[in-house]
Chain A
Amino acid sequence: MVDRVPLIPRLDTLEGKTIFLVDIGWGGKDAAPSIYKEIKAWFAQNMPSVKIEVRGVKGFYMQEQPELLKEISEKGDAAMFGIAG
């Protein structure tokens, strides 16, 4: 088994924050992009101060994504990666 690495502290609230939703490409356009469209709609309806940014990984999902991670770190407060299945 590999060494354990802790999670970093969570946010106090999502209000006013920017969340990146990242499509890893699995399942094509009918998977993550479709789910993310609904998540974005939910936030617009229920927590409109939350800003949603949708991105896709570059190339294959197993590839490193340094540019994307850097962009999220500069512009975002939290991120979701998905959807696998």
Chain B
Amino acid sequence: MSRNCKQLEQQYNIPTVGGTAANIMDYALNHNFKYTNGSPIRYIAFPFPVAGQPQSVHHKYIFERKDVVSGKPMMQALIDTLTAQLTDNEKYKGPAPEPPQGASRFLGPDTEENLHQLFKDLDYTDYLPIVLPTEERVANMLKGTSHEPDEVIKTLDWPGGKREVTVERVATCAVMAGAKPEHLPVILALANHIPFGNSTSSMANMILVNGPIRDEIGMNYGLNVMGPHNEANSVIGRSYTLMSKTIGGLHSGKTTWSTLGSTMQYNNVCIAENEEALPEGWEPYHVQSGFKPEDNVITVATGWSYISSVTEAKREYPVYMWMGEYMKALTFASATVIMDPTVAELLKDTYGFKTKDQLIKWFSENVEKTQYPSGEKIKPFQESSINVIVTGGGGQTTWFVTDFMMRRGMVTMGGSTPIDKWR
């Protein structure tokens, strides 16, 4: 929105105004202005929420309510944004004022209790106890990689930009999360995907690890794979949260406004695929994505939720049809089905799906949704937007249909990142 305003003003000399709900005004007027846009876009702001409100509410917003930015009646504020003379600040062209000096790499000495409180005050934690990242601990963590501490993995420009994600910063978060040096290559690869999903709709993420490194660092892909029962799964998943909040700059009410939030963001559904339990002919996710079986790969998906099969597969209700029914409930045309190996075997042996691709094709060709209000039937799921992950311990024929969006075949951005280069 601010980008459109800036372009129209600068390229075509047309005065503009941005309209937004009040919840993101602080971001628009501060972070976005200072770090991304640079143009002092004028805004009017409506009470939150806007979307989904009845027409009568929107009528009041325009005819009766006041602009949240200026406090003036809404339409007077709109008119003023397009007609009131520019202030000196709005006329200013040139370098931004010097930013305050960045924080030192080191904090002063203090008690352990006070330092823990400081990290909480800075919103640098998930409010579970962290391991304080002392110089010694970070140096030890850095033994987990051959990369230099000041190497820049990526530069973030949102929210509040030009912050470098360095190897040392990632190692610092890894320490805080309770990770060990052997976890660091995976966490460095994961750092290519920060920050995590951020939307008022309350996003979550899923982290999937494939390749031999699963065993090398002791990841769980058996019983309780999605539960709090394994150190590597736990600390890698948690590190994603801590990196997203600290380096990523996501702070509630300032740069993230997820209305419900997600408890999945404590661990980000950090799992590994049970590649050894795949039925013959079913490829691991990373191989489906073009990697070699011996490659180590981390994949990050964004979504919101999952629906479980609750109990076990039923003879009277073919399991793939049941999954398809659940897929109808997903909002977007993207699905990731996470299933126990017993389900995968059932799908192959009983229902004849010789590969994951065959199952995906069936979903794409048969899952039908009804458009509202037209009643039109559509088949929204393309094969490329459906994924199948096999994990778990064979304890029950259980599966989860999720709305996690995995971008099969894409490297890094929203997709997969090789781990071995970060050793």
Contact = CB atoms under 8 A, between A and B. Distances in A.
Whether chains A and B associate is yes
Contact of B1 (A27, A35, A61): A61
A4 B96 contact: yes
Interface of B: 1, 4-21, 23-24, 28, 34-42, 46, 48-53, 55, 58-59, 61-63, 75, 78-79, 82-86, 90-97, 99, 161-162, 200
B415 to A, nearest CB: 18
A47 B92 CA distance: 32
A84 B53 contact: no
Given A2-B96, A81-B1, A69 B50 contact: no
Nearest to A65: B4
Given A42-B62, A61-B1, A80 B17 contact: yes
19 contacts: A1-B99, A2-B35, A6-B86, A7-B40, A8-B13, A11-B82, A14-B83, A26-B51, A31-B50, A31-B51, A34-B53, A35-B19, A42-B62, A42-B75, A69-B8, A78-B16, A80-B78, A85-B23, A85-B51
Q: Pick the most buried of A5, A14, A42, A57: most chain B CB atoms within 10 A of its CB.
A: A5
B99 A42 contact: no
B51 A7 contact: no
A73 B48 CA distance: 31
Interface in A12-27: 12-14, 19, 22, 24, 26-27
B58 A38 contact: yes
Given A27-B51, A38-B61, A38-B63, A2 B19 contact: no
Given A14-B83, A73-B12, A83-B21, A2 B4 contact: no
Contacts of B82: 10-11, 14, 19, 78
A23 to B, nearest CB: 10
A22 B16 CA distance: 11
B4 A24 contact: yes
Interface string A22-54: 101011101110110111011000100000000
A30 B53 contact: yes
A57 to B, nearest CB: 8
B83 A4 contact: no
B46 A39 contact: no
Nearest to B34: A1
Contact of A69 (B7, B39, B83, B97): B7
Nearest to A47: B79
Interface string A48-85: 00000000010001000100011011001111111111
Contacts of B94: 3-4
B93 A5 contact: yes
Contacts of A57: 4
A24 B63 contact: no
B162 to A, nearest CB: 8
Given A10-B85, A41-B59, 16 more contacts: A2-B35, A4-B96, A7-B42, A9-B86, A11-B82, A19-B82, A22-B4, A34-B58, A38-B63, A42-B63, A72-B12, A76-B14, A79-B8, A80-B16, A81-B5, A84-B18
Given A35-B62, A65-B4, A72-B8, A5 B19 contact: no
B38 to A, nearest CB: 4
A83 B53 CA distance: 13
Contacts of A32: 19
Given A28-B51, A30-B53, A72 B61 contact: no
B161 to A, nearest CB: 7
A5 B38 contact: yes
Contacts of A5: 6, 10, 37-39, 93
Contacts of A80: 16-19, 78
Given A35-B61, A42-B62, A82 B15 contact: no
A30 B90 contact: no
A33 to B, nearest CB: 10
A4 B62 contact: no
Given A1-B35, A7-B91, A77-B14, A35 B50 contact: yes
